[in-house]
Amino acid sequence: MRRIWSAQRVPRYGDVIQITGGTTVEYSARSFTSYKAIGVNPGATLRFNTKVNTRMPVGTLIVFEGGTLQVGSPIYPVSHNVKAEILFDGVWLDKDSDPSQYGVGL
């Protein structure tokens, strides 16, 4: 398995994650660990596994122009008995530095 994480470990609570161009990450977890932010850079793909329940708690998910977020597709739809969740959990809200809350969400 090719190692893609710069920290040489699986991301954990509070991490800011960047998926670099030319990289595809298939997300297959049902996580209760909140990531502060995830960036899908141009040429990168974040793809949810469509055959298992998935849950991704995150403060901010940014898909830059040329990046791809794929949660099912016409050819590989999310199975009828599967739930794919992206949970914007609010853990990282900071109303003092971001009163309009532009830094949280998709």
Reported as a single tens digit per residue, the pLDDT across 34-77 is 999 899 999 999 999 999 999 999 999 999 999 999 999 999 99
Q: What pLDDT shows up at residue 1?
A: 42
* 45 vs 95 pLDDT, higher one: 45
Backbone φ and ψ for 34, nearest 5 degrees, come out as -90, 130
pLDDT tens string 16-31: 999 999 999 999 999 9
Answer for the pair 42, 17: CB distance below 8 angstroms, yes or no.
no
Written as six digits, the tokens of 68 are 């791809």
Count the alpha carbons within 13 Å of 66 in the hemisphere toward its beta carbon: 8
**Confidence tier at 100 by pLDDT (50, 70, 90):** confident
More confident: 64 or 3:
64
